[in-house]
Amino acid sequence: MTRPAASDDVRAKAPPSLLYLVKQLELAVRSRLDEALRPVSITPLQYTALTVLERRSDLSTAELARNSFVTDQSAADMVGVLEGRGLVLRHPDPGDRRRRVLRLTAEGQELLDRVREDVAAVEQRMLSPLAADEAADLRRYVTACRGALSSSLPH
């Protein structure tokens, strides 16, 4: 015998799942980042890639993909765009001349420096309802949750 679906009243009283809320937060952050990055004509994913290279140079495109949350193919396309704009440079790996790695250029660093305050303002707005200790707790909790789902942690 088939059971009837839960009534609208029951569903309306159930809180949204945490996964749903996390996705909604991601979409809201992305929308705000789109606005903040529009003046420099880069996407949030391109911004993420540039910040990864700012923290760690000499990554392969595949390594950049893993650290930037995109597929290898998407990273290859993105690197082509960023390289074409002079924001990243491909060069031979000092440890293995057959391998090419990526480095942020001075132009890429300048772009990041230009948008740093606007991106920080997005984060500050997101955290504005929280006290400082709650924001620190949120960072720890999100980091722990990411670790629980990751086979390896990004750099």
Residue carrying structure tokens 């300048």: 110
> CATH number, domain at 131?
1.10.10.10
| Residue 152 confidence (pLDDT) above 80 | no
Does residue 10 or residue 149 have the better pLDDT? 149
What is the domain count for the chain?
Answer: 1
Position 16 in a domain:
no
Position 57 in a domain:
yes
Query: Residue 111 and residue 117: Cα distance in Å, rounded?
Result: 12
Tell me what percent of the residues of the chain surpass a pLDDT of 70.
90
Average pLDDT over the chain reads 90
Position 118 in a domain:
yes
Query: Residue 98 and residue 37: Cα distance in Å, rounded?
Result: 35
| Residue 12 confidence (pLDDT) above 60 | yes
Burial state string for 49-74 with b = 16 or more CB within 10 A and e = fewer than 16: bbbbbeeeeebbbebbbbbbebeeee
Position 21 in a domain:
no
pLDDT in tens, 110-127: 999 999 999 999 999 999
pLDDT in tens, 69-98: 788 899 999 999 999 999 999 998 888 888
Token pair recorded at residue 38: 């529009």
Position 23 in a domain:
no
Q: What is the pLDDT of residue 11?
A: 66
User: Backbone phi, then psi, for 100, in 5-degree steps?
Assistant: -110, 135
Residue-range definition of the domain harbouring residue 61: 42-147
Position 105 in a domain:
yes
| Residue 5 confidence (pLDDT) above 90 | no
- Spell out the residues 6+ positions from residue 62 whose beta carbon is closer than 8 angstroms to its own: 72, 75
Position 2 in a domain:
no
Q: What is the pLDDT of residue 9?
A: 65
Position 18 in a domain:
no
